[in-house]
Structure 1
């Protein structure tokens, strides 16, 4: 089953409603589960073979960009590629540490040139600012001007922001970004109204943080800033007792379809290192939005 596609705002790009997030392809530093070359090759090619055409990555994600370049660069015309800027170039340290990001023109360009080399391509379809800095920081560093220069040179096609509160409203008002990557799930609806505002401004909208995957890594392997929120969300899922709503589906399928029910969201990225999980997500996305009664009941239980 191939996931449906839609237009990504004013970019005009036709993206699959299910995208692939490459963060878990960090390599041996992944969350307690080393990723072999064979596994990375199989997963990335399964993603494309399944009709998923949006791949989101970052220089911060360990070996992910190199895996993309090594295993699917020969299929470059089959997918839309999004990466980030502001990241420390050549991040090779422990993923449980978070080096400071800088948004100078020099670092924006260095990030892009490194990503192009790693992924063996001559352009990124979308370049997003990472970690949601304030507009004051962007102006001080002339970040957007460098992104536009890279666009004029053909090294990127569209600008984006991986944004969140408190700075997201000012990012939208700036009018400089073609695409937004926003946190959103049935368990975290804090950005729900801002998704509508982003779409109303004509930008493409992509959701992240759906947790549409099992909690398979041991707790000690998950970076500390993510460990407690992830555990808390899974505890809320268990307490909500969703079996009567699922009709045989997994809770993860319900969460994914909940996101796809938001009329102003164009796509949602979900990462995995397992072929079966990729295939299950594709099948779930192919079912489309939830029925209104199930959607309302799921929202109410997880809001309680």
Structure 2
């Protein structure tokens, strides 16, 4: 079992990653707050992901907060770095408790986010740093300007955005940023970012769908997914949802997350699920 069949994508045309990655939000506690219930299992999940060929791990300083980044360092840092594994992280969300998220986009706080992520992850440069949300209380040009400073100073190699519109991506580009990735909610049940995905494909920007396995009513008995799951014996609805994402666009970079090794292995098996063109069309239009 390996994710190699998912293929590769070059972030910003210069940083190749395997298209089926791992999202490290679920290795934290309930409400994305505090440590995981089973620390050793969380460490095992991260190490098993790399064994299965995952070389793109997405996290954020707000996961825990800080817990996810600390676990990644503990599990995968070899004393000098992460080898061929690309660690992407995010900043600009503060935490006040379980399931609570407050945006803070002041440039001085964004700089603190970057510096502290560098320390926790044991890196001299973050391969991909993403603005977790654009803070509406702070002029977005100031937030983009801070991101450009981080690149110019070598603190981060590439930058991305999360939960944005096409207009906001264009504004970031106009501010002098090369946007390597966009992380928006997108799955079989939610196509609200269809225009953003199409823009990313046209621009060669990696599109990281969060909540990638949500299939909504399609996964219910009698739904459009039923026949497809049965046709691929042993497949699960989640695997079909991930396989569909991989077929939907060459810039798609799903990052399913979990805190269990068995679930991780099931997700990674989606890379070997070969949907027919008719199945892809059925799921896309259902």
Q: TM-score, normalised by structure 1?
A: 0.81
Of the structure 1 ranges 149-158 and 251-260, higher mean CA displacement relative to structure 2 is found in 149-158
Contact 2:22 2:257 in 1 (8 A): yes
Distance 1:31 1:243 in 2: 35
Alignment of 1:70 onto 2:74? yes
Structure 2 residue corresponding to 1:171, chosen from 169, 172, 197: 169
1:279 aligns to 2:261 (yes or no): no
Residue 119, structure 1, aligned to residue 121, structure 2: yes
1:242, distance to aligned residue in structure 2 (A): 2.7
Q: CA, structure 1 residues 32+115, in 2 after alignment: closer, same or farther (shift >3 Å)?
A: closer
Describe the superposition over 1:252-298 as per-residue Cα deviations: whole angstroms up to 9, x where unpaired.
Answer: 1111111111124231111011111111111111335x211111222
Q: 2:149 aligns to what?
A: 149
Q: Structure 2-normalised TM-score?
A: 0.86
Is the 8 Å Cα contact of residues 196 and 264 (structure 1) preserved in structure 2? no
Q: Aligned-pair RMSD on alpha carbons? A: 2.5
Gaps of at least 5 residues in structure 1 are 213-232
Which structure 2 residue ranges, 5 or more long, are not aligned?
none
- Contact 1:35–1:273 (Cα < 8 Å) also in 2: no
SS in 2 for 1:198: helix
Higher helix share: 1
Q: Which residue number corresponds to residue 227 of structure 1? A: none
SS at match of 2:47: helix
Instruction: Specify the alignment match of 1:263 in structure 2.
Output: 249
Structure 2 match to 1:161: 161
Distance 2:137 2:273 in 1: 39
Q: Which residue of structure 2 lines up, in the alignment, with residue 96 of structure 1?
A: 99
In structure 2, the CA distance between the partners of 1:12 and 1:278, relative to structure 1 (3 Å rule), is same
Contact 1:5 1:14 in 2 (8 A): no
Of 244, 258, 265, the residue aligned with 2:227 is 244
Provide, for residues 124-164 of structure 1, a one-character-per-residue CA deviation record: whole Å limited to 9, x for no partner.
1111111244697311xx12222222222222100100123
What is the CA–CA distance in structure 2 between the aligned matches of 1:195 and 1:57, rounded to whole Å? Answer: 21
Moved over 3 A (4+): 27-35, 132-136, 233-236
